[in-house]
Amino acid sequence: MNPTEPLIKKGWTRVLVFCVLYFAVLLAGSFLILLLMMATNVAGNMQDALEQLNKQDSIMPILFIVLYNFVIGVLFVFLFRKFIDKKTVFSLGWDLKNHVSHALIGLCAAVAIIGIGTFILIAFKYLRFTGWIINGQDLFISLGIMVFVAVAEEMVFRGYILNNLMQSTSRYAALAISAAIFGIAHATNPNFSWIAFINIILAGFILGINYIYTQNLWYAVVFHFAWNFLQGPIVGYEVSGLNFQSVFQLEINGNEIITGGKFGFEGSIVASVLVIIATLVQAYVYEKKLKASALISSSS
């Protein structure tokens, strides 16, 4: 056997094996953390433990789960990349030198969507700011949490899953499948709903749209971090159903399909529309660049 040949030859098979093992270990570990919360009297029962995770004054349990998810995600990607794919983790797309512009696009896209969406909700009186408070310690911990989440999830979902699926099918089919897996992975989050499920899948599209053309992770990592950090610890929405102490205090009223309710902005149809528009605009730009590049190559 060629030492550089993957141990499992088909990309989709590697993804299947990875997902089964990764999610099994992830769920088992999260369950053990909840049991530990009960054993140490942090929570009286499993329901109480789950509720503790969604209180603004209990950021540490969320931090422990995020750290566990980060370690498991990085470890699984490293092991699969080294022993199954026979490639390096860096080759998943960690080169920043030629991709600073993509990282900045990710930052701007996240800020624009959260900003425009919030402005729309304020303009139609679904949302109003009631005050602000800065807790430096919680803000710093929240920042760390969002960094860990962005790096780990992008390594797993875009770096490993999307990367390997692209070796078995077309770029857009791979993007759709990876986005669906991303949506299913968030199904256990608090206050999950059908529109939240759709929006998490749409998030999988906008997070992966750059990767299918560049095979670089920095756009997705920066977008993911900025999206979560702005949405929760800064503006004051829940983040995928999880509550964080925030700089701005919000009062949200009206139809939860429009506001996102307790799942946060990610559960809002306003987010759906804005994410779809942003994804289509980027897809158009990348396709145009790809065709222009192909035209130059064919004429040279």
Q: Which residues contact 24 (CB under 8 A, 6 or more apart)?
A: none
pLDDT in the model for residue 219: 98
Q: What is the pLDDT of residues 109-144, one digit of tens each?
A: 999 999 999 999 999 999 999 999 998 888 999 999
Q: Write the secondary structure of the chain as one string of H (helix), E (strand) and C (coil).
A: CCCCCCCCCCHHHHHHHHHHHHHHHHHHHHHHHHHHHHHCCCCCCHHHHHHHCCCCCCHHHHHHHHHHHHHHHHHHHHHHHHHHHCCCCHHHCCCCCCCHHHHHHHHHHHHHHHHHHHHHHHHCCCEEEEEECCCHHHHHHHHHHHHHHHHHHHHHHHHHHHHHHCCCCCHHHHHHHHHHHHHHHCCCCCCCCHHHHHHHHHHHHHHHCCHHHHCCCHHHHHHHHHHHHHHHHHHCCCECCECCCCCEEEEECCCHHHHCHHHCHHHCHHHHHHHHHHHHHHHHHHHHHHHHHHHHHHHC
C-alpha 35/C-alpha 108 separation (Å) is 40
Q: Write the secondary structure of 107-124 as one string of H (helix), E (strand) and C (coil).
A: HHHHHHHHHHHHHHHHHC
Q: What is the pTM of this model?
A: 0.92
C-alpha 78/C-alpha 87 separation (Å) is 9
Q: Which residues contact 76 (CB under 8 A, 6 or more apart)?
A: 18, 21, 22, 25, 156, 160
Task: Show the tokens assigned to 47.
Answer: 């329901």
pLDDT in the model for residue 49: 56
User: Strands 127-132 and 248-252, how do they pair?
Assistant: antiparallel
pLDDT in the model for residue 40: 62
The ranges of the chain with pLDDT < 50 are: 56
pLDDT in the model for residue 281: 98
Q: What is the pLDDT of residues 261-291, one digit of tens each?
A: 999 999 999 999 999 999 999 999 999 998 8
Token pair 């929240």 is found at 142
Count Cβ atoms within 10 A of the Cβ of residue 243 and give its class: 0-12 exposed, 13-18 middle, 19 or more buried.
buried
pLDDT in the model for residue 146: 97
Alpha carbon of 103 to those of 49, 106, 115, 126, 240: distances in Å? 37, 5, 18, 32, 23
